[in-house]
Structure formats: structure tokens, C-alpha cells
Amino acid sequence: MQIINYDDVPWDESIGDFTNDLIITPEMALKLSELYLTEINPSMLEDKSASVQTIRDSDVYIITYIPEPTKLGGDISIAINFKTAEVLKMWAGE
């Protein structure tokens, strides 16, 4: 791992401001949801398959994890804004 010391960088507040939308892809949304959910519980996504849907006329991906038919447990869903990568909502079934 490389450690970078940013103390010596001459920061200028007018340079480097990102003002555009982020626009993440469905694949990135899937990876982000995996990171968020495994941070809550590392085994949460075991034996589950994932799907990514978009909601028409919105900036939201819904990522749903569904358990394998032979496994106990419910589905887990997470809504992520694809312009900001913000988690809007998380919910789980029975």
C-alpha cells in the first residue's frame, strides 16, 4: 500500500471542484451495494443472487438480493441514486 502525504500539496479551492453529476453504472451500483451491505453483516449476501433495476424517469437503481430457492431467508434491497451514489433506502423481506 502506498501512503501519500497531502499536507504538502498547495490546495487551491478554485481548482478541482467537481460540479457534474457522478453517473454510476449498474455494475458500479452493484459493487457499492455489496460494500454497504457486507459492512453491516459480512454474511448478509451469502447464497443470494443479485439483480439491478432502474426506475423509469428517476435517478435510482434498485439492487435486490434474492436467496437461492433451497436456502432460508428473505430478500434484501437497496436503492442508490446513480448521480450521487447516495443510499436512499434499504429494506429486507422475511
Task: Evaluate if residue 64 carries a pLDDT over 90.
Answer: yes
In the chain, where the domains are located: 46-94
pLDDT at 79 (0 to 100): 95
Percentage of the residues of the chain whose pLDDT score is greater than 90: 36
Task: Evaluate if residue 52 carries a pLDDT over 90.
Answer: yes
For residue range 8-22, list pLDDT tens digits in order.
655 565 556 656 667
pTM, two decimals, is 0.72
Q: Which residues is 90 bridged to in the sheet?
A: 78
For residue range 25-43, list pLDDT tens digits in order.
899 999 999 999 999 888 8
pLDDT at 84 (0 to 100): 86
Please choose, from the candidates 85, 86, 87, 83, the residue with its C-alpha nearest in 3D space to the C-alpha of residue 19. Answer: 83
